[in-house]
Amino acid sequence: MRLGKSPLWLLPGIASLVAFAWLLTLVETAAAGRTYAAYGGVYIISSLAWLWAVEGVRPDRWDGIGAVICLVGAAVILLGPRAPV
């Protein structure tokens, strides 16, 4: 955290995590892990957007490559064929 910034900035982040955890409890148990994988993909995109828009640091090619690898993994988890349960 940068010096001089109010710790109140933590409140929206904490509220978001609490809301996500609560929403995850509403998902069918068999799909909860896949829902978490989808959240991981959203988190990756959001963190790179934050890096660029707020911190003023443009993501480099390694950030992009890592994000693509993670997003492909999340897509496999979410969209892969499954045997009927």
Residue 34 inside a domain? The answer is yes
Residue 71 inside a domain? The answer is yes
Taking the CB of residue 50, how many other CB atoms lie within 10 A of it? Answer: 11
Q: Average pLDDT of 15-27?
A: 83
Residue 64 inside a domain? The answer is yes
Q: At what angle do helices 32-53 and 10-25 cross, to 10 degrees?
A: 160
Q: What percent of the chain has pLDDT over 90?
A: 22
Residue 18 inside a domain? The answer is no
Q: What is the pLDDT of residues 42-81, one digit of tens each?
A: 889 988 998 898 889 999 999 999 999 999 998 898 888 8
Q: What percent of the chain has pLDDT over 70?
A: 94
> Domain range for residue 75?
29-80
Residue 7 inside a domain? The answer is no
Residue 44 inside a domain? The answer is yes
Residue 3 inside a domain? The answer is no
1 vs 19, higher pLDDT: 19
- Answer left, alpha or beta for residue 62, where phi above 0 means left and psi between -120 and 50 means alpha: alpha
Q: How many domains does the chain have?
A: 1
**Considering the entire predicted model, what is its pTM?**
0.64
